[in-house]
Structure 1
Amino acid sequence: MLSTGRANPHERIAVVDWAMFETLLALGIVPVAATELVQFRKIAIEPDVPPQVADLGLRGSPNFEMLRLSNPHLIVSSRWFTWVQHSLEQIAPVVSYSVYEPNRPPYAPAEQITVALGKRIGRLAQARAYVDASALELARASRRVADKTARPVFLINLGDARHFRVFGADSMFGDVLQRLGFTNAWTKPTSYAATAPMPLEALAEVPDAWIVIISPVPPDARSTLSDSSLWRALPAVREGRVVTLPPVNPFGALPAARRFARMLAETLSAPGAQNG
């Protein structure tokens, strides 16, 4: 049962998409089931996942038997799961929302979806309050990094010691970066979130940029980079303009946006971080 003070037609909600999962948790809804909880706890970190949420297995192949056993009254999905829409509908009514679309910054859609989902589940006031609180958190983060924004920023995940993925304007990280007043150093096209693996030397194309590494960092990359002449030759590395953030959900909604903004602001405003 949902812990809400008023009757709700959707007392048991299951969710297969991480962006929708973190949004439900942020609105005070504890789903009966969700996907890849072990990985979510490692990558998304927040919001906290209560222990009573059942794990539906991989996002790419959710466990329909477990989903059926969880007896949901409503399933919350996204465009990533259109291929299993019919199967989901055999279990319970499905609502689907899309934070990510090609060539579209996702923060504003995440705001709209938060309100739409809140209205659907009887949490409209909480949803609107969360949208407003998110805007305030980004505004606070923006003030903290105001002296750093003269330099552009590469936002990357390391794949190994020689390759990285970079987050563009149509990623949540890239959208929030610009809302904080920065310029994204990566101006080439990306698809939904990040490019395919790129060689490290591509980071030399904007020599005055910050390099912001978003965890997790593969163990082999961490141990090898320090000995890499290619890595040490990058201007940002030589001049101390590389920082590493804790893990953040790269396919999240407003909770991920807030965590990314807060982590970036805390890291760049820490003692020892260079001024822009």
Structure 2
Amino acid sequence: MRPGRFGVGARRCAGRRALRWFAGALGIILLAAAIPVLAADATSGPSAGSTPRLATVDWGLAQDLIAMGVTPLAVGQTSGYETWVGQPKLPPGTHNLGLRSQPNLELLSQLDPDRILITGMYAALKPKLAAVAPVTTVDVYFTPGPVWDKTVAAAKKLGRITHRPQAAQALIQRTEEAVRHAAQRLPDDVAPLLVIQFSDAQHVYVFGRGSLIGATLQRMGLTNAWQGETSRWGSAQIPLSRLASVQTGRVVVMGPIPVGLRQRLAHNRLWQSLATVRNAPVVYIPGVWSFGGLPSASRFARLVTAALRSAPASGPGWPEQTERSS
């Protein structure tokens, strides 16, 4: 080995070690700088476990969300919700999207929801709504199967969407307990119930197979007096005269009532001649959203039990008797 070669090699080795150290340090610096950017990308939507900001045009979905402790960012036709749904109340600050069938897309864009929830009823709106935010369908009446099971499944799906599966399960348990408790408080020997809702003085909606009302009656151990055909939603709009085909049972009138109807029915001979009106005093309950979520089931069970417990055994019933509030 020639003199001095060892010294030159040592210097080269030291230089390479310094270069590797510099490259490693530079990599660490670049990685540290990139971490905030990566974190920002990962949280550009709702963070895992946080509740997304949700808008919906459907009152039944709004019901379930509120009952699970989730405040909807916006709901369609909020004034109609108060009239037809009633409970649970819309939380303060819930925005009104306007008509459920024609929501205010400009307002929706300004609110910038994380997700929009619809049912199959509003499928035609999906392309327009999807231009604002991702759209998820949570359906009951456009899928096959028992309506009670589908209503429960919808609540569970909302629990997954909102990252609140335990709240969804708690809602399901509360509903089942409420229906069971209402059933235990029923009077003895309740006749089959004919549940109707007036659309005008000559037409009613009647609730039968496939309706949430019918499913709740069944879970309460009650018989539904309407065994006729129903629509996809488990109801049928029929002339008042068709109720004459039902000879056995007791009428339950569900609100809201069209203006002036009570006075007109008091002098309506067809109404007074119906066997189900003559059989027992007609009972009235405040409005229940029959196409709703689980809160509608527990509300109906509670109201119908209270109405039957307080109804007279004979004599005049509704509309002569004063309507009870919710």
- TM-score, normalization: structure 2? 0.77
CA offset digits 1:34-93 (Å, max 9, x no partner): 101001011111111122011001111111111111110111111111111111111111
**Paired residue for 1:241, among 260, 265, 281?**
281
Give 1:102 shift. Answer: 7.0
CA offset digits 1:107-158 (Å, max 9, x no partner): 2111111112102211111111110111011101111225243x22111111
Give 1:106 shift. Answer: 1.7
2:225 aligns to what?
185
2:100 aligns to what?
59
Structure 2 runs not aligned, ≥5 long: 1-46, 315-326
**Paired residue for 2:181, among 114, 117, 140?**
140
Report if aligned partners of 2:210, 2:233 keep a CA contact under 8 Å in 1: yes
Report if aligned partners of 1:103, 1:191 keep a CA contact under 8 Å in 2: no
1:18 aligns to what?
59
Structure showing greater Rg: 2
Is the aligned partner of 1:164 residue 2:212? no
* 1:125 to 1:10, Cα distance in 2 relative to 1, 3 A: closer
Structure with the larger helix share: 2
SS across alignment from 2:118: strand
Structure-2 separation of matches of 1:264 and 1:103: 28
Aligned length: 268
Give 1:205 shift. Answer: 1.9
CA offset digits 1:246-273 (Å, max 9, x no partner): 0111210101111111111111111525
Report if aligned partners of 2:65, 2:72 keep a CA contact under 8 Å in 1: yes
1:38 aligns to what?
79
Report if aligned partners of 1:107, 1:253 keep a CA contact under 8 Å in 2: no
SS across alignment from 1:269: helix
SS across alignment from 1:250: coil
Is the aligned partner of 1:74 residue 2:133? no
Structure-2 separation of matches of 1:17 and 1:44: 11
Report if aligned partners of 1:16, 1:59 keep a CA contact under 8 Å in 2: yes
Letter in 2 for 1:13: L
Structure-2 separation of matches of 1:143 and 1:56: 40
1:230 aligns to what?
270
2:148 aligns to what?
107
Letter in 2 for 1:187: Q
Report if aligned partners of 2:209, 2:234 keep a CA contact under 8 Å in 1: no
What is the 5 A alignment of 1:261-276? Answer: 261-270=301-310, 272-273=312-313
Give 1:172 shift. Answer: 0.9
Structure-2 separation of matches of 1:195 and 1:126: 30
- TM-score, normalization: structure 1? 0.91
Report if aligned partners of 2:60, 2:292 keep a CA contact under 8 Å in 1: yes
* 1:108 to 1:273, Cα distance in 2 relative to 1, 3 A: farther
Give 1:7 shift. Answer: 5.9
Letter in 2 for 1:40: Y
Structure-2 separation of matches of 1:48 and 1:128: 20
Alpha-carbon RMSD? 1.9
Structure-2 separation of matches of 1:108 and 1:100: 11
% of aligned pairs identical?
Answer: 34
Give 1:192 shift. Answer: 2.3
Structure with the larger RCO, 1 or 2 (CA within 8 Å, 6+ apart): 1
Structure-2 separation of matches of 1:68 and 1:229: 53
Structure 1 runs not aligned, ≥5 long: 1-5
Structure-2 separation of matches of 1:141 and 1:195: 23
Structure-2 separation of matches of 1:119 and 1:97: 11
SS across alignment from 1:197: strand
* 1:36 to 1:159, Cα distance in 2 relative to 1, 3 A: same
Letter in 2 for 1:179: R
